[in-house]
Amino acid sequence: MNTLLVIRPRAEDVEGQPILRPLPSAKCRSVGPFVFFDHMLETDYPAGKGMDIRQHPHIGLSTLTYLFQGQLQHKDSLGSDQIVDAGDVSWMTAGSAIAHVERTPQTLQESGFRMHGLQVWLASPREREQGPGHYSHHPAATLPVSDSLGVRIRMIAGSGFCLESPVPVLSPTLYAELHLQTATTLLIPAEHEERALYVLSGEVQLGGELIEPHALVVLPAGEELSLFAESDCHAVLFGGAALDGPRRINWNFVASDPAAIDEARRRWAAGDWPTVPGETERIELP
């Protein structure tokens, strides 16, 4: 077996929400279509507080928000206005220009709550980078689950382990939530070209190597690996087909052509961008 590439995330803060960001990294720019990975750490918000990520733009990517605890309201320039519960998938494809808002619903702010979840960006294939935007919401009950011998797999997006999610991904994708009870084993097949494991909690052995919580491990291509739970473990496995060329990331923009990012920056700065209905505040260009 090849040596595992282990990435330690850097700590960041997004509008008051502490996160860990293992991707992108100097060691690894992408895994399959995944170019950005944020772990929103468990955070208790008192009554009257919450997340409020104001209007901001995207191009050339799809965002996927998946919560373990809490709730978010998604609004975008397509007119979408959706409450996203824990276990749901919020999927937004930016195309050539979209803006959105993510905030804690008012009812949850009034009571206080705990937030914990993931948000990832998936680069669009080149032929879809400049296409139309799209939003879809997928309730938890619509996501396929396998539960056997102490191992529970939920397919968040894409396919794997004989499961297929209804989320409309744009390229071959793997994004699975894993729960392993202590002393259970899961064989990770080599059915996707690129794969990585992120451990949310618990300790596991991957191919005999001990992996600690909050580590992202890039799996060697073409190899089946055995995942063994030293303790009750919560993790996600993600990846898919390799990107069809390198991507540039600048602020909230992803593109294969740097000129597209320059144009998006110019348009946002000039106010020449679709707006979210009912929203006036926005995050200005850094």
- pLDDT score of 260 more than 90: yes
Q: pLDDT tens across 31-87, in order?
A: 999 999 999 999 999 999 888 999 999 999 999 999 999 999 999 999 999 999 999
Mean pLDDT for all residues in the chain: 96
Percent of all residues in the chain with a pLDDT value above 90, rounded to a whole number: 93
**Residue carrying structure tokens 């860990």:** 20
Q: Is 191 marked as a binding-site residue?
A: no
Residues 70, 115 contacting (CB under 8 angstroms): yes
Reported as a pLDDT band with limits 50, 70 and 90, residue 3 is confident
- CA torsion through residues 21, 22, 27, 28, sign: negative
Q: pLDDT at position 188, please?
A: 97
Q: Mean per-residue pLDDT for 166-175?
A: 98
pTM of the model: 0.96
Q: Answer with the residue of higher pLDDT: 110 or 21.
A: 21
Q: Mean per-residue pLDDT for 78-104?
A: 97
CATH class of segment(s) 5-240: mainly beta
Reported as a pLDDT band with limits 50, 70 and 90, residue 16 is confident
- pLDDT score of 175 more than 90: yes
Q: Is 269 helix (H, G, I), strand (E, B) or coil?
A: helix
Kind plus residue range of the DSSP H or E element containing 84: strand 81-85
Q: Is 58 marked as a binding-site residue?
A: yes
Q: Is 56 marked as a binding-site residue?
A: yes
Q: pLDDT tens across 238-259, in order?
A: 999 999 999 999 999 999 999 9
Q: Mean per-residue pLDDT for 144-156?
A: 97
Residues 37, 63 contacting (CB under 8 angstroms): no
- CA torsion through residues 213, 215, 216, 222, sign: negative
Torsion of CA 121, 125, 130, 134, to 10 degrees: -50
Reported as a pLDDT band with limits 50, 70 and 90, residue 102 is very high
Reported as a pLDDT band with limits 50, 70 and 90, residue 109 is confident
d(CA 42, CA 211): 20
Whether the ω angle into residue 24 lies within 30 degrees of 0, i.e. cis, is: yes
